[in-house]
Structure 1
Amino acid sequence: MARLAQEYRAREYRAIGLCGLLSLAGYLALAILSFGRALFEGLSSFVLGKSTDTGFYVWSLVWWPHAVAAGINPFITKAVWAPLGFNLSWAAAIPLASFVAYPLTASLGPVASYNLLVLLCPALAAWSAFLLCRYISDSYWPSFLGGYIFGFSPYILYHIAIGHLNLLFVFPIPLAVYLVLLRLDDQIRDTTFSLLLAAVFITQFLLATELFATLVVFGAIGILVFYAFAEHELRERIARVIKPVAISLAFVAVLLAPYFYYMFTSGFPSKPVNSPTAYSVDVLNFFIPSPALLVGANSLLIRVSDTFTQGRKEPTGYLCLPLLIVLIWFGYRRWGDPIGKALVIFVSVICVLSIGPRLHFAGHVGPGMPWKLATHLPLLNSALPSRFMIYPFLALAVVVSLLLSGRDMSTPWKYAATALIVLFLLPDPLSGYWVATNASPEFFTTEVFKQYLIRNETVVVLPYGMTGNSMLWQAESDMYYRMAGGYTSAPPDAFLAWPITNYFLHKDAIPDAEDQLKAFLSTHDVRAVLVTDEAWPLWKPLMSTLATSFQHAGGVYIYRVPAEMLARYRTLTATEMETRLDTARFDALLIAAQQYVANGGEVSKLTPFELQSRRLLPSGWVSDRDIRTGNGLYLGPAANDGMAVGVTGSYEALKPTIERYRGFAREIYFPYPRKLSEPPRGNTFMRLLVMDFSRDGLAKAAQAAKQASAISPVPAK
């Protein structure tokens, strides 16, 4: 993506040398001072990143070496979501990092190992960008600044803040570009180039498969853009480099065949884990920083950044005013230079694609954008556009290094631009912003668990899934036990089919919770339930139905589950238990809605929360005030003074409810808002059923529900 060596005065690059090593040391010192000051109290006292995602990466650092040492297939883990297990090939499982960091993990522990890797990532990213910029500009300090722009970019800062270790491994991206430039300048032969580029691709794949995919896609876009604007000689060189690039990708396919085997035999993900629209760059974010930066860490700008489409999830689009001015000035001065023009257009194209499927401005949705076309393609429909921003920052690093090393700006303006760029990209100086206290119970950190658990037995740990740190705790136990749960992005459908799983995750009470729990424990061969002190007040009433006695040690309550208690639940299936739940909840909504109307309630104000506040639904069923609640209830006004009642469920489990009330409903929608056709089309797993009733139809349906249901409209005290 750059001119020939003679066009940019880039000379044959020497060995890394002392200056390169000093640059790496400087970037590492900056990373420690910016993000790691709290770790001086102890490498395991805190965790860099404030989300439950960190637990999965800590877990991954332990899993891969553990599986290989134990002779277990590392791609299929039974340590989580037991006994079903989970295919890690589609997860961000960082296998290469786990093996490289194994000496640290074994000696210092997985949390310390994770923290050290997080601190190393921005330094490596900055250093690799420095190597690229210095090759192009042949100027040290502009290249050092270019490395800083890439390695400490808003993309990197925010992924440090939320603990996405895999997305911090971006150092192979500049190295791939660097290798392409070496080949374009005939510094290396085709064979050497293909082998080295394959090594870079494999490294990126085994650290972050998502980044590997976008590297290939945006690398191709970069080649097309630079080919379109290059002069004839450079076009010929770019064309000649395509074949060895393709050969390197063929090497990747062959060498990673086992990994691809497990990816493709498990099938493509049926739907994106996260919404591309929700993880797209709000246009305002290009100009307004997030709290991860010093200039964005004030109450006024935080209120503005909270309006972004992606809110506080991944606002990584901030380009900062000095960088924008530099880009505009560079474009103005170099527009007649084909490569200068290509750099500016490449930045513009990727920024447009990062906006995602639809235009968003301060949270308001606008028209469709180019990336909307990609959402209809397999694999690309799972890419999250806000993560594309790492590529514009690399191009901007090159632009800055070229501009500051050339004669386009006077020396005073170069100093001013450098100072302003650094100022506007400084991280939030508060160390507490970057870390969360490692509050792991002593039960897991001091091997107390060995006194109460049998190796490889299956347990349930509460808090559950994404609501707790069960993955981190299992890693600290060195995979001593298995979990009928975990956090590997979204739970497997086979677990979501069990109503108790949603109770664990959302904490909204469900009818018949005792039997739901016991059926789940029996089917998953669970022998113990572990409840932390923090979660104890919430789960104590339900856990007390398992046994009359329990043990407490190291900040954890241990319930041993008698096998004879669960024997009669052994034959119950998830569909049967979901049918019970769906029927009970729909009947309860019908009865409560009818009583609400009979008592003179306004239909316009009808919601599940309103019924709960009037004690017409059991306490704890609903925690949000919307017509459609987060735990799968639907209740609100419908056309012509009617009422719409609904629950989320699978079609097989909802069929008895549909058949029972079909004759009373004006219209049936499933999956909502599509009118029901029998059998329904598309994915029918955990979709919303809504029935539209007139007042008379609601009264008749409620009467039928009272006759068929054991649930009282007023909960027992």
Structure 2
Amino acid sequence: MTETLPDVQLLEEARPGRVRSAVRRSVVQRGRLVDLAIMATFTVAAIYVMSNLWSDLQSGYLFNAGRDQAMWEWFFADTAHALAQFRSPLFSDLQNYPLGVNLMANTAMFGISIPLAPITLIFGPTATYAIGLTAGLGGTAIAWYWAFSRHVLTGVSVRSKIAAAVGAGFCGFAPAMISHANGHPNFVAFFVLPFIFLQVVRISNGKRPVRDGIVLGLLVAWQIFLGEEPLLIFTMSAMVFGAAYALPGLAKSRQAIKRAMPGLVIGGAVTLLITAVPLWSQFFGPASYDGVSHGQAGNDTAALTTFPTESVAGDPEGAEFRMNPTEENAYFGWPLVLLLLGATVWLWRIRLTRAAAAVIVVMGVLSLGSELTIDGDKTGITLPWKLLADLPLFESVLESRFAMGAIPAIGLLLTLGTYRAFVELRGPRRTAAGVWLVALAVAMIPLIPTPIDADQRSATPEFITSGSWENYVSDGTLVTVPVASAEDARALSWQVDADFGFPIAGGYFVGPDSKTRAGIYGAESRPTSTLLVNAKQTGKVPLIDVGTRANALTDLRYWHADVLVLPRFSGDDALRHTVDELVGFDAKRVDDVWVWDVRDLVSGKTSNQS
């Protein structure tokens, strides 16, 4: 490999060269300035992508986030509130009262929400949300730049650093990363993963198993608190990479595995020590569940070659190949796919290339799901994901996301190809190098992301912001009309704006089905919550009889309801009259909402409001 790419060495063989001390200091100093410039560029790029959110942290809301931004902000705010109240952040009954929500079994991202709790308390959860997304994009690019520039291209030349920056920039700002930045900070915060991989390589040297094992354990524990699904996906990528890389030298690889075992055991013990209680809570604690079924969620093959919608070459017609705006998990564009094919052929003699190509193929095929779909047409051809789909852990993963496991491998190929082009520009093969650089520009420029769209969020009712709610909530819950759900999560923002002064019925989270323990989004439907949703959808007051009223009273008592709240809007008649009929008295207009004080009704006292 070293004879093909000067200054490029295998991970475990990297050694600094000997140069005169004065010259070396000068070169190192220049290299550090380049490092700072590249890292600053990635940071500015991340801020640029998220600029529409940063420009309005008070009322900005990512246009394609759906209910996810409200959910994430609630998670961050609840964690900060829990720490301020000296209670465990692993569980909360502030939504889905009285059953509560298992936060470890949701995407609470304690790896960010706990360290940034002071920021959340001072500046609000939107600031933490924006930091999480921005640091995820920029930090992931910086982390992979560190890995590529220090452990793949071990020289200190500017050309090697630029080559590393090309690959790292793709890792941090790949189409899937930009897509998930619309609402999923757990799927952009990958800055720990490169260091986990590098630490495993370091452990394989067997020199300092205790220290290196402890560091590995800390890193893995942190990643668990950032996102377990990404850890699973990228662990599979690393295993494929390691197997393909080790294949030509099995004897040497077996020795490395043997040397690594003490450090890996120590790392596993440290991870378990830190995460044992949270993981027990996740899988066996209150409101835990067995898994979430998403149905078929594989990529269409067309998604691999389509340009991402939020890019310079964005193609709105390509949206047909995604589940939703936050799940463009491939969308590499056809020029990049062709460039990767060319790079694999051009750099085939390099073992890193063959390992990276294996990862791209395996993860790409897994992302296609259980059945091959070509341009919208199902072929009936069964694919390898079928064997994994029902296994523990895998059952909850969206298979299209496995395409993201190929991103570091793609970044590695881009790094190796660009470096070789820079080297050969000065040699007899400058034509091939020039072709690579032109092809690289053709492949990468269309993928340059555009700023993620943001809009004004729905205003929290004055009834909440003015504190009027305090006159209607004693020690029970505030029930929104319709009841808060995965389809309508506004109540989560109201609760945050009221500094968690009241619990709410329903909510937006993942919790267990009471019969099957399968994970479902939001609270289980109750007769009254279903009735209110139907009234909103049809715009008509349903038939209300004795049985319906009895169900409503049972549900209100189950929720420990103190007050029902309906924001006033032009089409609120059906919902308002439905609740009037259910509780037996008319709504009261307070500020900008309709309220029904049901404390006497729920307690069995005679209401004085009828």
Q: Is the 8 A contact 1:288 1:305 kept in 2?
A: no
Q: Kindly report which structure 2 residues correspond to 1:271-670, keeping only aligned pairs within 5 A, or say none.
A: 272-278=291-297, 280-297=298-315, 302-306=316-320, 308=321, 310=323, 312=325, 314-365=327-378, 366-406=380-420, 407=423, 410=430, 411-427=433-449, 429=450, 431=451, 433-443=452-462, 446-449=465-468, 451-454=470-473, 457-463=476-482, 464-468=484-488, 469-489=490-510, 493=514, 495-505=523-533, 507-508=536-537, 511-512=543-544, 513-534=548-569, 536-545=572-581, 546=583, 547-553=585-591, 555-564=592-601, 567=604
Would the aligned equivalents of 1:230 and 1:338 in 2 still touch at CA under 8 Å?
no
Instruction: Label 1:183 to 1:404 Cα distance change in 2 as closer, same or farther (>3 A).
Output: farther
Q: Is the 8 A contact 1:309 1:360 kept in 2?
A: no
User: Residues 446-476 of structure 1: CA distance to partner in whole angstroms, max 9, x if unpaired?
Assistant: 3535543446531112352122222232223
1:376 is paired with a residue whose SS is coil
Cα offset, 1:271, TM superposition: 6.1
CA distance in 1, matches of 2:371, 2:419: 38
Tell me the SS of whatever aligns to 2:510.
Answer: coil
1:224 aligned residue: 243
- The whole-number CA distance in structure 2 between the counterparts of 1:19 and 1:375 is 45
- Where do 5+ consecutive residues of structure 2 fail to align? 18-27, 155-159, 516-522
Q: How does 1:149-298 map to 2 (within 5 A)?
A: 149-161=170-182, 163-184=183-204, 189-230=208-249, 232-234=251-253, 236-266=255-285, 272-278=291-297, 280-297=298-315
2:81 corresponding residue in structure 1: 66
Distance 1:315 1:270, change over 3 A: same
In the alignment, is the contact (CA less than 8 A) between 1:122 and 1:156 conserved in 2?
yes
CA–CA separation in structure 2 for the residues paired with 1:548 and 1:352: 59
Check the 8 A contact 2:136/2:189 in 1, yes or no.
Answer: yes
Q: Secondary structure at 1:325's aligned position in 2?
A: helix
Contact 1:441 1:556 in 2 (8 A): no
Q: Distance in 2 between matches of 1:126 and 1:445?
A: 41
Counterpart Cα distance in 1 of 2:376 and 2:533: 27
Q: What SS does the aligned partner of 2:96 have?
A: coil
Distance in 2, Cα, partners of 1:231 & 1:404: 30
Report how far residue 18 of structure 1 moved.
Answer: 4.5
Instruction: Indicate the residue corresponding to 1:697 in structure 2.
Output: none
Greater Cα shift, 217-226 or 124-133: 217-226
CA 1:264–1:272 in structure 2 vs 1: closer, same or farther (change >3 Å)?
closer
In structure 1, stretches of 5+ residues that fail to align are 570-717
Distance 1:274 1:500 in 2: 26
In 2: Cα distance, 1:268 partner to 1:543 partner: 29
Q: Distance in 2 between matches of 1:338 and 1:235?
A: 17
Contact 1:316 1:386 in 2 (8 A): yes
1:573-595 CA distance string (max 9 Å, x none)? xxxxxxxxxxxxxxxxxxxxxxx
- Identify the residue that residue 635 of structure 1 maps to in structure 2: none
Distance in 2 of aligned mates of 1:274 and 1:62: 28
Shift in Å, 1:147: 1.4
Distance 1:392 1:26, change over 3 A: same
Instruction: Give the Å deviation of 1:31.
Output: 1.7
From the superposition, tell whether residues 425 and 503 of structure 1 become closer, same or farther in structure 2 (CA, over 3 Å): farther
Cα distance 1:321–1:508, how it changes in 2: closer, same or farther (>3 A)?
A: closer
In 2, the alpha carbon distance for the partners of 1:417 and 1:195 equals: 43
Aligned partner of 2:50 in structure 1 is 35
State the AA in 1 paired with 2:241. G
SS at match of 1:529: strand
The code of the aligned residue for 1:423 comes to I
> Highest relative contact order (Cα 8 Å, sep 6+), 1 or 2?
2
Shift of 1:125: 0.8
Aligned to 1:707: none
CA distance, structure 2, for counterparts of residue 451 and residue 434 of structure 1: 36
Rounded to whole Å, the distance in 2 between the matches of 1:267 and 1:447 is: 34
Over the matched positions of the two proteins, sequence identity in percent amounts to: 20
1:652-689: CA deviation from partner (whole Å, max 9, x where unpaired):
xxxxxxxxxxxxxxxxxxxxxxxxxxxxxxxxxxxxxx
2:146 corresponds, among 113, 131, 136, to 131
Q: Which moved more, 1:89-98 or 1:470-479?
A: 470-479
* Distance in 2 between residues matched to 1:117 and 1:543, nearest whole Å: 40
CA distance change for structure 1 residues 113 and 304 in 2, over 3 Å: closer, same or farther? Answer: closer
State the distance in 2 between where 1:194 and 1:235 align: 19
**May I ask how many residue pairs the two structures share in their alignment?**
555
- What is the CA distance between 1:436 and its match in structure 2? 3.2
Give, in whole Å, the separation in 2 of the partners of 1:361 and 1:504.
41
Q: Which amino acid aligns with 1:149?
A: F
TM value normalised by structure 2: 0.82
SS at 1:296 equivalent = coil
Partner of 1:659: none
Q: Which has the larger radius of gyration?
A: 1
CA distance in 1, matches of 2:74, 2:248: 47
- Asked if the contact 2:180/2:326 (under 8 Å) is kept, the reply is no
SS at the partner of 1:219? helix
The two structures have a TM-score, normalised by structure 1, of 0.71
Change (3 A) 1:241 1:82: same
Go from structure 1 to structure 2 and tell me whether the alpha carbon gap of 1:491 and 1:472 turns closer, same or farther (over 3 Å shift): farther
Work out whether residues 96 and 203 of structure 1, in 8 Å CA contact, stay in contact via their aligned partners in 2.
yes
